[in-house]
Each structure stands twice: as structure tokens, then as C-alpha cells.
């Protein structure tokens, strides 16, 4: 039986309650999450300054040895460079720059081609460094400790500004998973990783796992199986194996626009799951924040149900 998908008369009231809950959490905890990330980011920027000799040596060798400093270098220019803008100016590729920012060096490139790409990137970055933030570059002198710290905080703020939404989203996701974990543990469940070599239907009863990659059939016919991440996988306490566990996706949102842009993602996921495991799939959203009737109606039409975070006890209707 549906939990909330078949109760449109409750959707508006639940949306209001969910928005209020998200906003209350945001006001209390988002600033701390941002400050904590900012503190870590300042330390990372200071490390980047050390690796580049206070930006006097932005060279291919530095990025080759420490590719993860590229975001910091992009935020050290005037104006700060978005990733796509750097790609265009350096005549590079999205894959190449994306791998660098993940801290990786593309393995398929020849050493010569790798050096050419890095040289173009470092040439752009060196030419566009923000001398108002790094005044020692003009005078070709060593910075004072105060100048170095001040410049690090400015670059860190630029980085955190670009990452503000992911910072809040990650903090909220962590909180949601903690709530689910506590709810399950109170019922006698235990958190236990599920081996990828064991069929999902053989998951141990009374256990749950976070961020499990599930093998499913892709959208295109005759293609190989693909892995899709599922936030929470729960095998009911009294399940008789083989039994397909419950699948839950934790979602939070701070505005109505983005959720309606991304609502097709869940539809694609449930279609892949049903194509793989059949109609017995139980795939439920765990919602907190700005989810309006347009979003809820779309999900209900796709056969997706949900549990509101402000009424987590509804999860018990899944038979846990």
C-alpha cells in the first residue's frame, strides 16, 4: 500500500512542514558546516601556496605532482575562472581538467601531450593571477605571514562560495542518514556492509547498508550492466531469503527549482531497478525541504513513494 503517494490532500501541508523543518535546520547548522569547510579550505590554500612558492612557480611540474590544487589556482585569478572558462582559454578538454581536479593525472595521454596540456593551463593561470590579492607578485618579494593568511582566506571564500550548495547538501545528507540509522537501530537493525559478490537478494535480514552500488540493466538494450548508487538498503528483520531489500534515496532541497529539474533522475533509477528485479522493487524517497505538488505528482505518477523526514515513523509502513 502507498505511504504518501496516494494522499494528495496532504501534500501541501506536508510541503509546508518540510520547508519549515529544512529552514530551521539550515539556520542552526548550515553556518557551522560552512565555517568548518572554510577552515579546512584555508589550510588547503596555504598548502597550495607552499607548493607553488607563493604562486611564483605555477608550473606544469607542480600540477603534475599535485593536480588537486587546480581549483585553488582557478580561484586565484582575476576574475576567478570557472572550470569551463579555463578549459576554453587553455584549449583543453572537460575530461582532462575534471580528472586533474579529482587529484588524478589522465593515464591515456602520452607524456608529451600531457606536458602540452599542462603548459597551456599554467600559462593561462600565471598570466591571470590576481595581484590585488597577492601583492608580493608585483614587487617580486616574499609575502609576510599576514599577507599569506589574508590571501588564503580570500581564495578559500571564493572556493567555498562556489561549493556552498554542495557543502549544505552534504551536511544535510549526513544528517538524514544519521536519522535513518538511529531509527533502524532502535528497532534492532545493525549497520553492515553488503559484499558486492553476494546477490542483493541474499542480504542478511535485520541489516542495512549505506551508499550501496547496485547492478542494474541500463536504459539502452543489449548494453552491459551498470552500477547505480542507492543511499540506504534495508533487509527487513523477518525477511525470508531470497528477498529483495528495501531501497531508500535520501533527498533534501533548499529551493523548488532544482528538484523539478532533477526529478527525472529518480524515474530513471526506478525504471532500471524494475527492469532488473521486477515489479517487487520497493524504492522510496526520504524527503526534507522544498518538494512541491509538481514534484510529488511527477514521482507518484512514476510509481515512486516517499517518507517525509518530519514524519519518519511512516517508514514503519514499509514492513521494517
Q: Helix 164-185 to helix 11-51 angle, to the nearest 10 degrees?
A: 120
**Banded pLDDT at 187 (limits 50, 70, 90):** very high
pLDDT recorded at residue 241: 94
**What is the set of domains in the chain, with CATH numbers?**
8-29+166-318 (3.40.1350.10), 37-164 (no CATH)
Q: Dihedral of the CA atoms 116, 122, 124, 126 (nearest 10)?
A: -150
pLDDT tens readout for residues 90-110: 999 999 999 999 999 988 889
Is the pTM for the entire model greater than 0.75? no
Name the DSSP letter for residue 102: T
Residue 185 has pLDDT above 90, yes or no: yes
- Give the percent of the chain with pLDDT over 90: 73
> If you average pLDDT over every residue of the chain, what do you get?
91
pLDDT tens readout for residues 31-85: 888 888 888 889 889 999 999 999 999 999 999 999 999 999 999 999 999 999 9
Residue 261 has pLDDT above 80, yes or no: no
**Banded pLDDT at 222 (limits 50, 70, 90):** low
SS3 81: coil
pLDDT tens readout for residues 286-320: 999 999 999 999 999 999 999 999 999 999 999 99
Instruction: Write down the H helix ranges in 278-320.
Output: 293-301
Beta strands 190-191; 207-216: pairing state? parallel
CA-based torsion, 86, 91, 97, 98: positive or negative? positive
pLDDT recorded at residue 224: 79
Amino acid at each position: 500500500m502507498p505511504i504518501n503517494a496516494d494522499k494528495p490532500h496532504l501534500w501541501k501541508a506536508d510541503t509546508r512542514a518540510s520547508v519549515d523543518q529544512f529552514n530551521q535546520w539550515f539556520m542552526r547548522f548550515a553556518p557551522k558546516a560552512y565555517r568548518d569547510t572554510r577552515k579546512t579550505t584555508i589550510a588547503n590554500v596555504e598548502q597550495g601556496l607552499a607548493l607553488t612558492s607563493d604562486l611564483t612557480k605555477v608550473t606544469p611540474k607542480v600540477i603534475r605532482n599535485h593536480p588537486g590544487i587546480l581549483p585553488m589556482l582557478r580561484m586565484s585569478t582575476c576574475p576567478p575562472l570557472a572550470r569551463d572558462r579555463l578549459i576554453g582559454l587553455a584549449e583543453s578538454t572537460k575530461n582532462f581538467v575534471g580528472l586533474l581536479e579529482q587529484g588524478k593525472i589522465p593515464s591515456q595521454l602520452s607524456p608529451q601531450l600531457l606536458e602540452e596540456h599542462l603548459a597551456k593551463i599554467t600559462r593561462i593561470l600565471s598570466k591571470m593571477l590576481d595581484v590585488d590579492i597577492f601583492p608580493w607578485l608585483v614587487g617580486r618579494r616574499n609575502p609576510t605571514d599576514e599577507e599569506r593568511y589574508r590571501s588564503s582566506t580570500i581564495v578559500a571564500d571564493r572556493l567555498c562560495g562556489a561549493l556552498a550548495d554542495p557543502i549544505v547538501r552534504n551536511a544535510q545528507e549526513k544528517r538524514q542518514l544519521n536519522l535513518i540509522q538511529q531509527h533502524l537501530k532502535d528497532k534492532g537493525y545493525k549497520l553492515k556492509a553488503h559484499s558486492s559478490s553476494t546477490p542483493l537478494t541474499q542480504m542478511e535480514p535485520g541489516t542495512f547498508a549505506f551508499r550501496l552500488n547496485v547492478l542494474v540493466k541500463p536504459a539502452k538494450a543489449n548494453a552491459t550492466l551498470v552500477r547505480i548508487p542507492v543511499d540506504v538498503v534495508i533487509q527487513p528483520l523477518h525477511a525470508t531469503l531470497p528477498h529483495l531489500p528495501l531501497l531508500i534515496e535520501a533527498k533534501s532541497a533548499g529551493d523548488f527549482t532544482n528538484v523539478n529539474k532533477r526529478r527525472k533522475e529518480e524515474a530513471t533509477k526506478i525504471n532500471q531497478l524494475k527492469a532488473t528485479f521486477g515489479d517487487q522493487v520497493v524504492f522510496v524517497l526520504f524527503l526534507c525541504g522544498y518538494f512541491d505538488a509538481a514534484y510529488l505528482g511527477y514521482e507518484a505518477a512514476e510509481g515512486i513513494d516517499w517518507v517525509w523526514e518530519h514524519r519518519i515513523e511512516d517508514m514503519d509502513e514499509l514492513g521494517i
